[in-house]
Chains A and B, each alone.
Chain A
Amino acid sequence: MTSYLKLDHIDKTFTRGSATTEVLKDINLTIEMGEYVSIIGHSGCGKSTLLNIIAGLTTATTGGVLLENREVNSPGPDRAVVFQNHSLLPWLTVYENVKLGVDKVFASSKTRAERDAWVMHNLNLVQMAHAKDKRPSEISGGMKQRVGIARALAMEPKVLLLDEPFGALDALTRAHLQDSVMALHQKLGNTILMITHDVDEAVLLSDRIVMMTNGPSARIGEVLEVPLARPRKRLELATNAAYLKCRQRVLEFLYERHRFVEAA
């Protein structure tokens, strides 16, 4: 059968001098259109490397990434990334940061006025239109990440890649932003792949949770379906049996079967 995004036997080894480290081993995963998949694992398990491979920022040693049955091995706007530390260009305003991608992606398909409207539309989606003329240094961390999401969404990616997007935020802002991402996913139906190390975040947002074993030579340990209807409400889920069961499963995987070995 054909799948939307397919990770096919991905291995990744880093070579430094004579020492080689195998980071990822035999990663196979298929993601359907419109699906929200999280990859969770302890730090150092290579989940960010995996995301970089999908984004094309790093190349896999063997294996490859197929998007709509076409191999992708260089970065492109069809796999837009929301980076952990927002990565907005500090010398550009919020508007210009989003426009940078829009101008490239829609250079021939949209007129100048349409591109402008499209930038503003995406800023509105993340409720950041009011700050369009501010520079990144003038807005809060949560707002920066919103703009980062707007920048990625504005490229109309086939797959939206989120690299621990809420990792650097405080708990309240994080919850708020998670709700925003859920609402956007509901509204736009994007295919989303998210890297996270937060169990609650993974269960709350995902359709499926991919659990990685510890590195070196990290593999996919287990894939968990999250059978919760959408739209999901944070408060109601806190006592939902299915939610708690999923949460329990992920916690068991991470803390019992694949404990983080600090010496490793």
Chain B
Amino acid sequence: MSMPAMKSEASTAVLPAAAAPAAVVTMTPKRTPATEKYLKLAKDAAVRVVPPLVVLALLLLFWELACQRAGSALPPPSRVFKDTKELIFDPFFDRGGIDKGLFWHLSASLQRVAFGYSIAAVVGIALGTLVGQSVWAMRGLDPLFQVLRTIPPLAWLPLSLAAFRDGQPSAIFVIFITSVWPIIINTAVGIRNIPQDYRNVAAVVQLNPLEFFWKIMIPAAAPYIFTGLRIGIGLSWLAIVAAEMLIGGVGIGFFIWDAWNSSHISEIILALFYVGIIGFLLDRLIAVLGKIVTRGTSAS
């Protein structure tokens, strides 16, 4: 009975002391008026947004001037906009077959990437852990990985077409095989760099291998793993466009190839713009995810 009483005493004795300085600290920023804060935020945003916008405007102007001649091979931006207005403003149309809006093409590509990349993430982290943890697995597998990872993604495509006899799984396989190597290699480095201290702690506490994996290895190696995942997502987006050009069907890669075959150069330019933006967003997505997950680890 006396124990809880003692404890509550101790915590109440400590709490006000801890709360007091915190209150003092937070008081000062709260005093600044809201408008001033928004002004500062707007200023920060402007500093980051304005320079790239200026450069973009200059580039568009240069492009417009360079391609204005009657016989120029590429259309100027104004032509691109005029030609692709329908595609820009109605990305959701679906007239059957491959005559669909850009949204459907992009979502088909993203789905393939999501499949291939998810498999690569799971397999990559698992193999990376094995190679990072076991000296023999490293000696046996690492040379193999070092050779295989240099094979260009598209070189795998004929082989996977032969194996799967279908475009869809082949494209997913190409995504997988492209993005898995950086995930494996970075995970392995992360696992190998887990400080001995953490291993000692786990040994004293007697964590079993599964607990050690989830509670020590994954969080300790998370910054490395996310580096690998970020490189991986970039590579898979690179590979999907090329792979889709070859396998056909719905997808942004095939859309570009189809536009080229029909000499719709403006559509190609629009598609490239979308590919760039989506690739950028995918990279940011993984980066933000990594930042959230590794909050604790990278802070030390």
- B153 touches A (CB below 8 Å): no
Per-residue CB contact flags for chain B residues 52-86 toward chain A (1 = under 8 Å, else 0) read: 00000000000000000000000000000000000
Q: Does A57 lie within 8 Å of B203, measured CB to CB?
A: yes
Q: Looking at the complex, which of B96-104, B204-212, B280-288 is the stretch in contact with chain A?
A: B204-212
- A89 touches B (CB below 8 Å): yes
Residues of chain A within 8 A (CB-CB) of B297 are 90-91
Residues of chain B within 8 A (CB-CB) of A140 are none
Per-residue CB contact flags for chain B residues 117-159 toward chain A (1 = under 8 Å, else 0) read: 0000000000000000000000000000000000000000000
Q: Does A83 lie within 8 Å of B296, measured CB to CB?
A: no
CA distance A150 to B130 in the complex (A): 33
Per-residue CB contact flags for chain A residues 60-85 toward chain B (1 = under 8 Å, else 0) read: 00000000000000111101110101
- A210 touches B (CB below 8 Å): no
Q: Does B207 lie within 8 Å of A104, measured CB to CB?
A: yes
Per-residue CB contact flags for chain B residues 1-12 toward chain A (1 = under 8 Å, else 0) read: 001100100110
A residues 106-141 touching B (CB-CB < 8 Å): 117, 120-121, 124, 127, 129-131, 135-137
**Known contacts A120-B7, A127-B14, A130-B15, A76 near B197 by CB under 8 Å:** no
Q: Does A130 lie within 8 Å of B198, measured CB to CB?
A: no
Residues of chain B within 8 A (CB-CB) of A89 are 198, 201, 215-216, 219-220
Give A206 Cβ to nearest chain B Cβ, in Å.
23
Q: Does A85 lie within 8 Å of B197, measured CB to CB?
A: yes
Residues of chain A within 8 A (CB-CB) of B261 are none
- B35 touches A (CB below 8 Å): no
Residues of chain A within 8 A (CB-CB) of B216 are 89
CA distance A105 to B296 in the complex (A): 25
Tell me the interface secondary structure of chain B in the complex: helix
- A23 touches B (CB below 8 Å): no
B residues 182-228 touching A (CB-CB < 8 Å): 195, 197-198, 200-201, 203-207, 211, 215-216, 219-220, 222
- B18 touches A (CB below 8 Å): yes
**Known contacts A56-B203, A75-B206, A135 near B296 by CB under 8 Å:** yes
Q: Does A87 lie within 8 Å of B197, measured CB to CB?
A: yes
What's the tally of chain A residues with a CB closer than 8 Å to chain B?
Answer: 33
Residues of chain B within 8 A (CB-CB) of A101 are 204-205
Q: Does B204 lie within 8 Å of A75, measured CB to CB?
A: yes
Residue of B4, B14, B197, B211 near A129 (CB, 8 A) is: B14
Q: Does A83 lie within 8 Å of B200, measured CB to CB?
A: yes
- A155 touches B (CB below 8 Å): yes
Give B226 Cβ to nearest chain A Cβ, in Å.
13
- B299 touches A (CB below 8 Å): yes
Residues of chain B within 8 A (CB-CB) of A77 are 204-206
Q: Does B300 lie within 8 Å of A124, measured CB to CB?
A: no
Residues of chain A within 8 A (CB-CB) of B222 are 91
**Known contacts A104-B205, A121-B7, A129-B14, A87 near B200 by CB under 8 Å:** yes
Residues of chain A within 8 A (CB-CB) of B299 are 90, 135, 137
CA distance A249 to B16 in the complex (A): 47
Residue of A104, A131, A135 near B206 (CB, 8 A) is: A104
**Known contacts A100-B205, A101-B205, A130-B14, A81 near B296 by CB under 8 Å:** no
Residues of chain B within 8 A (CB-CB) of A81 are 200, 204
Q: Does A136 lie within 8 Å of B300, measured CB to CB?
A: yes
Residues of chain A within 8 A (CB-CB) of B206 are 75-77, 104
Residues of chain A within 8 A (CB-CB) of B220 are 89, 91
Residues of chain A within 8 A (CB-CB) of B195 are 87
- A55 touches B (CB below 8 Å): yes
Residues of chain B within 8 A (CB-CB) of A79 are 204
CA distance A70 to B204 in the complex (A): 18
CA distance A194 to B294 in the complex (A): 34
Q: Does B296 lie within 8 Å of A121, measured CB to CB?
A: no
Tell me the nearest residue of chain A to B294, going by C-beta: A91
Tell me the nearest residue of chain B to A129, going by C-beta: B11
CA distance A90 to B299 in the complex (A): 8
CA distance A43 to B196 in the complex (A): 20
CA distance A79 to B206 in the complex (A): 11
Give A147 Cβ to nearest chain B Cβ, in Å.
12
- A220 touches B (CB below 8 Å): no
CA distance A120 to B10 in the complex (A): 11
- A92 touches B (CB below 8 Å): yes
Known: A75-B203, A89-B215, A90-B297. 4 other contacts (CB 8 A): A85-B197, A100-B201, A137-B299, A155-B205
Closest 8 CB pairs of A and B: A91-B296, A90-B300, A75-B203, A87-B197, A137-B299, A91-B219, A130-B14, A130-B18
Q: B residues engaging A (CB < 8 A)?
A: 3-4, 7, 10-11, 14-15, 17-18, 195, 197-198, 200-201, 203-207, 211, 215-216, 219-220, 222, 294-297, 299-300
18 intermolecular pairs with C-beta atoms under 8 Å apart? A75-B200, A75-B206, A77-B205, A77-B206, A81-B204, A83-B201, A89-B215, A90-B296, A90-B297, A91-B219, A91-B294, A92-B296, A100-B205, A104-B211, A117-B4, A124-B11, A137-B300, A155-B205
